[in-house]
Amino acid sequence: MVGSTLEHPAVLLGAVHDVGRLRVGLRLARASDGDRVRDFLERLSPETRLRRFGTPVPRVGESLVRHFTLPDGRRRFPVLATAPADHTERVIGIADVALLRSGTAEIAFVVDDDLQGRGVGRVLAGAAASLAARRGVRRLRAEVGGGGPAALALMKRLGPTMSGIEEGSSVAYTALPVPAEWGDSPAVELGERRAS
């Protein structure tokens, strides 16, 4: 992370990562992101849409765009990964976190087809998990069947992970560290922990 810490969720609004040659910004989604989110979702291949949404989503409806741009900040928060393009920012990934019950949240993420496997998902999932941990989440749940080994590997980078089958779906549960355990070092990110 470049020059910031994850002390408060608002800090993410200025978080920038170098991922290869790409400058990736991380921030919470907002209502004004509708066109950028729609553009991102429409650029996804049918295969990626199928893996993320369980259907190829042939048409991106307004309700799906609203899902990612009008969150309930207390129970659900989408985090956007963005990159500069044509003098503006372009959404290149979305992580969606839903607080389920005390100490547990569900996470789902999707990255632009051309950028999969290049580290964008790692920083995006790490940022979303860090926000969740700061809100009291100690365990993340993710359906990983659609994302295959890559999605499970991302979850394992966030912390100790157990996987199995629930109601016919492959799921992973990852234990998150307590923020106080991160110490006072700057920007300890999930997925890039210090060696103990």
Pair of tokens at residue 121: 């998902």
Beta strands in 12-70 (DSSP E): 15-19, 22-28
Neighbours of 142 (CB within 10 A): 24
8-state DSSP, 193: P
Say what the pLDDT of residue 20 is. 82
Pairing of strands 15-19, 76-85: unpaired
Instruction: Find, among 124, 103, 111, the residue nearest to 17 by Cα.
Output: 124
Share of the chain above pLDDT 70, in %: 83
What's the whole-number mean pLDDT along residues 156-166? 93
| Dist. CA 172–CA 62, nearest whole Å | 30
- Pull the structure tokens for residue 83: 């990159």
Model confidence at 79, pLDDT cuts 50, 70, 90, reads very high
Token pair for residue 12? Answer: 């993410």
Domains of the chain: 9-182 (3.40.630.30)
Q: Given the DSSP bridges, would you call strands 104-111 and 139-143 parallel, antiparallel or unpaired? A: parallel
Q: Are strands 139-143 and 22-28 parallel, antiparallel or unpaired?
A: unpaired
Instruction: Give me 46's structure tokens.
Output: 């049918």
Position 88 pLDDT exceeds 70? yes
* pLDDT tens sequence across 91-103: 999 999 999 987 9
pLDDT digits (tens, 9 = 90+) for 119-149: 999 999 999 998 899 888 999 999 988 777 8
Residue 60: the pLDDT is 87
Report which of residues 83 and 3 the model is more confident about.
Answer: 83
The tens digit of pLDDT for each residue in 13-71 reads 557 878 888 889 899 998 999 999 999 999 999 989 888 887 777 788 899 999 999 87
- Does 121 or 192 have the greater pLDDT score? 121
